[in-house]
Amino acid sequence: MAYTNFTVETDADGIALVTWDMPGKSMNVFTAEVMDELNAILDATVADAAVKGVVFTSGKSSFSGGADLSMIKSMFSLYQDEKAKDPAATAQKLFNLVGRMTGLFRKLETCGKPWVSAINGTCMGGAFELSLACHGRVASNAKSVKIALPEVKVGLFPGAGGTQRVSRLADAQSALQMMTTGQSLTAARAKAMNLVHQVVEPDQLIPAAKQMIKDGLKPVAPWDEKGFKAPGGGIWTPAAAQLWPAAPAILRRETSGNYPAALAILKCVYEGLQVPFDTGLKIEQRYFTHVLQTTEAYSMIRSLFISMQELGKGARRPAGQPKTELKNVGVVGAGFMGASIAYVTAAAGIPVTLIDRDIEAATKGKGVGEGLVKDSISKGRMTQDEGAALLSRITPSADYSDLKDADLVIEAVFEDREVKKAVIEAVEAVLPPTAVFASNTSTLPITGLAKNSKRPADFIGVHFFSPVEKMMLTEVILGKETGDRAIAVALDYVAAIKKTPIVVNDTRGFFVNRCVFRYIHEAYDMLIEGVPAAMIENAAKMAGMPVGPLALNDEVAIDLSYKILKATVADLGEKAVDPRHMQLVTGLVEREGRLGRKNAKGFYEYPPKPAKKSLWPGLRELYPQKKADEVDVGVLKQRFLVTIALEAARTIEEGIVTDPREADVGSILGFGFAPYTGGALSYIDGMGVKTFVDLCEKLAAAYGPHFQPTALLKDMAAKGETFYGRFDPYRVEKAA
């Protein structure tokens, strides 16, 4: 029988090699068709007496990334479309749908013939759950191998037998850590956890897998053998008595109870280890069905899985523009930011010319890349040869004429209009007519900078976040005259360096910084009210933010906040800034000399390592302090999330952001807005716009007019609308 997604070849020893190689896709993914074909292959190999065993592998450079977007969407669509009609029947349908993959993998596991999974490259999610159902697992020792069950990062958990098999192969503590964090494992680490049987050279992967079958691999899972005991003895042991009371407390410390899927993992493992394996699978299926119905899962899947992939694949790219193959990129400004941009460009295989005022400064900038390469080599992420090849693609220079062949030039010089004006003029004097000029400015409007250009249609903003090599987001900012070709080139570049873009229209602070400074300014308000600094930081983290606002302000630099406040007053007048904020920041910078982490003095003290940072005791002297029991932590949490979400809503109302996917993805990737909400707009949609408006009005009455809901929000509340309904990002697709 011929298959679309698989080939099956049986050798002289009776071993069938099943190769998963989906046509037209860069990576194998699970779809309904893939599962149908896999089920047919399973039936055929069982029925064929000549087949003694099966080796399952991938025909691509990676094994599989797990489930396909369309399959995930279908589950949510089913629930969202039908739950109002008959909630119980819809839940039962969802339960049955969830159980399909579980049932297929269990059928494989009990088919009576040995299956061996030969793992190359990325093997994640459902693909690793399939491998766990195989009787043997062999992995390549190549650096590209990444084994993980990362579902918790998008609001779900391993629901096709993962919680039950991992906890019966590895010790419970390691199993819980792997699944509740979604961490990636190397092949060696997976073997150490007993999740993989052998690790071999890449060219030995299939031979080793076949040899396992030849050596008499039993077609029975350990938990199906009589007398099986989980590693460590299961739940009722002295060691377990220490682990299980602590596990929920540790999880709550790490997540503040914001992630239903993480808690469900604990429940699946704890309950599943006390019952027979098939009952454990039913427990897992029940919890997975429950988690699928939560707002958190729906919002996280939409933003962190579906929207991120759509944006990364060019959802906002103008139609009809040919793809740009970047052959040379120029970066002007070899400071830390520019040097880091040059590094990620070279890491993507693109030659880059790094320009500064003199060759010494440019060479020093390349040194930033050399440091990053050295660090990667020391951590085993890169070989010496790979590092040398990367650095060979960075050419330092002080001569603007070296940009004559550039397809794209990115300026990353000081945030000074005159300095940028000089750079724009110098670059355009040598830039080829087909090239695009991009500014990495974080504060200056692109339209204003483009006035210094003779080619405003080819002028755009590409705003990176620090540290560039780690932060996955870029803002692509459109000036009033930016043309489609410039947008396409910028998005092609962002795709080449493997970052996620959001496209925003021009405004002061663009999208991310506007939201970030609302977060920081709310902390200023709380300090001025006398809320203890430790409560401010802890409440923010309990709300789901990765870093407290005061710590974040130290990272971006308090004197930068000072400069931004002064620039805002200069441009917009004194009423544009809260005078209490100006007084607080002026005192910290001018009187106390506290600039942030960069001079080891900010809201925090930064003693020499290994000592940890701690809040500056002087904060208690700035304003009369409230007692802890006078402060409602729940309200603090609300204030942080609401003020950011309100700012995101304003950017939609002002036409700065036009696609809700970009506001959500940008808020999470840009500054870590409580990921369990799905992003700033999903936070509003998740509770309902009317509920959000009522909450805003309540906070405005108690804490100031900056919490007043906007006209758009009031209108949406009255009409019962959502952001994803009113600003449907798929409306063009549906109309077609």
Indicate the SS3 state at residue 552.
helix
**Assigned token pair, 76:** 């949510």
User: What span, in angstroms and rounded, lies between the C-alpha atoms of 72 and 154?
Assistant: 11
Give the containing element (helix H, strand E) for 58. strand 53-58
Position of tokens 């030659």? 351
The span from the CA of 557 to the CA of 397, in Å, is 30
C-alpha 284: how far from its chain's center?
26
DSSP string, 286-343: HHHHHHHTSHHHHHHIIIIIIIHHHHHTTTTSPTTPPPP----EEEE--SHHHHHHHH
Residue among 93, 87, 48 nearest 74 (CA): 93
| Residue 120: other Cβ atoms inside 10 A | 22
Which residue, among 160, 169, 56, 166, has the nearest Cα to 116 in the 3D structure?
A: 56
Distances (CA, A) of 654 to 309, 380, 658, 722: 26, 47, 9, 17
Residues assigned a catalytic role: 463
For residues 305 and 472, is the Cβ–Cβ distance under 8 A?
A: no
Tracing tokens 């780690």 back to the chain, one arrives at 470
Q: Are 319 and 690 in contact (CB under 8 A)?
A: no
**CA 64 – CA 381 distance, rounded (Å):** 21
Cβ neighbour number for residue 88 with a 10 Å cutoff: 8
Whether the Cβ atoms of residue 596 and residue 466 lie closer than 8 Å to each other:
no
Structure-token pair, residue 465: 């976040």
Number of other CB atoms surrounding residue 228 within 10 Å = 13
- Contact by Cβ (8 Å): 728, 661: no
Distances in Å between the Cα of 114 and the Cα atoms of 52, 91, 110, 325, 477 are: 8, 35, 9, 47, 55
CA distance 301 to 88: 23
Question: Which residue is listed with tokens 């540790």?
Answer: 250
Distance (Å, rounded) from C-alpha 595 to C-alpha 310?
39
Residue 410's SS3 state is strand
Tokens 């040598």 — which residue? 430
Strands 394-397 and 15-20: unpaired
Task: Please say whether the dihedral angle defined by the alpha carbons of residues 584, 589, 593 and 597, taken in this order, is positive or negative.
Answer: positive
Task: Supply the DSSP symbol for 599.
Answer: G
Tokens of 73: 């969407």
Q: Is 655 exposed, middle or buried (0-12, 13-18, 19+ CB in 10 A)?
A: exposed
Task: Decide: helix, strand or coil at residue 634.
Answer: helix
